Amino acid sequence: MMRGRKPKKEPTIAVVGPGRVGQAMGKLLRGSGFPVRFVVARRIAAARRATKCIGGGRAVSLDSAELEGAQIFLLTTSDAALAPIAARLAGTLSGWKGKVALHTCGSLPAAVLAPLQKQGAAIGSLHPFQTIPNPAEGLRNLRNCFWAIEGDAAARRVATRWVRALDGVAFAVPPEKKILYHAAAFLVCPTEITLMERSTFLLRQCGIPEKVARPMLAQIVTETVRNFAKLGAQGALTGPAARGDWAIIRGHMRALERAAPDVRPVYKSLLRAMLRLARRRPPRDLERMLG
């Protein structure tokens, strides 16, 4: 009689700081067969709420000795809380050898979890290059997304398995470059929202209500993004700077001076970069204005 091999038991996970990312990742990992055993928050009521979203796990507080039963700690707290939480966990729990601690912060390296590494844990970070405004959106968009991974080999192995299970793409970022890597994400995500809000403000002054402006902006931005992905930056660039239509640019600057002076310096900075991209040199008066 052939004896079937016992399936390998997956290591148990504790999600620490179950906010937007923690809840979404907890539910996704659980759905992919990774056992989320604990959901840990500073307020037990928040941990209980999160277990409902995740669909399982035991709600416990940060000082609970039960946590020694977890093998992987996924820290999804705010960035500033990572170092103190790592120090607190290292001080209150024992038996870290062979365990893994991962965080999801894009700007800080794994080394922020050094107190856990000192106790014998493998530390790492896995950062989704994605925007998660609430857990429900995270459940959708943390699949098939791109993840930056760095840290100790054992931690990278866990992170890579998770990313594969979520049909994502894993890539490495050197720890000392994480802040620059995060600035790259910042440059295209929260700034984009801010630009769209300012654009809505200008459109309102032209008599276009927000309920029209929002889908209208979403459409042009979606098209722009699609063109960028397909054609690259130079191929996708349109508008008066790409055409060398200097009279229009002078007109924009005058109109912005009256309607939204706060937007003018942003317009000028972006225009400088755009002209470099378009390989165009503006006439003298504009060059002086751009400084």
Q: Would you tell me which residues interact with ligand NAP (CB under 6 A)?
A: 17-22, 41-43, 46, 76-79, 81, 85, 104-106, 127-128, 130-132
Considering only CA atoms, which of 42, 45, 37 is closest in space to residue 66?
A: 37
Residue 147's nearest CA partner among 134, 132, 133, 164 is: 164
Q: In whole angstroms, how close is the CB of 75 to ligand NAP at the nearest point?
A: 8
* 155 token code pair: 């931690």
Which residue, 65 or 277, is less far from ligand NAP as judged by CB? 65
* Of 18 and 124, CB closest to ligand NAP: 18
Question: Nearest distance from residue 15's CB to ligand NAP, in Å?
Answer: 9
- CB 85 → ligand NAP: shortest distance, Å? 6
Nearest C-alpha neighbor of 199 from the set 181, 183, 218: 218
In single-letter form, the type of residue at position 291 comes to: G
Of 78 and 238, CB closest to ligand NAP = 78
Closer residue to ligand NAP, CB minimum distance, 73 or 249:
73
Nearer to ligand NAP, 42 or 250 (CB): 42
291, with CB counted inside 10 A (0-12, 13-18, 19+), is: exposed
Q: What is the smallest separation between the CB atom of 195 and ligand NAP, expressed in angstroms? A: 18
Residue with the CB atom nearest ligand NAP in the bound state: 19
Strand ranges, E, within the chain: 13-16, 36-41, 58-61, 72-75, 100-103, 122-128, 146-151, 169-172
- Alpha-carbon distance 236 to 229, whole Å? 9
- Nearer to ligand NAP by Cβ, of 131 and 199: the residue is 131
Residue 257 structure tokens: 């001076």
- For the bound state, the minimum distance from the C-beta of residue 230 to ligand NAP, rounded and expressed in Å, comes to 26
Both tokens of residue 45? 């009521």
User: What is residue 157's DSSP assignment?
Assistant: H
Residue 227 C-beta: closest distance to ligand NAP, Å: 25
Contacts with 276 (C-beta within 8 Å, 6 or more apart), sequence order: none
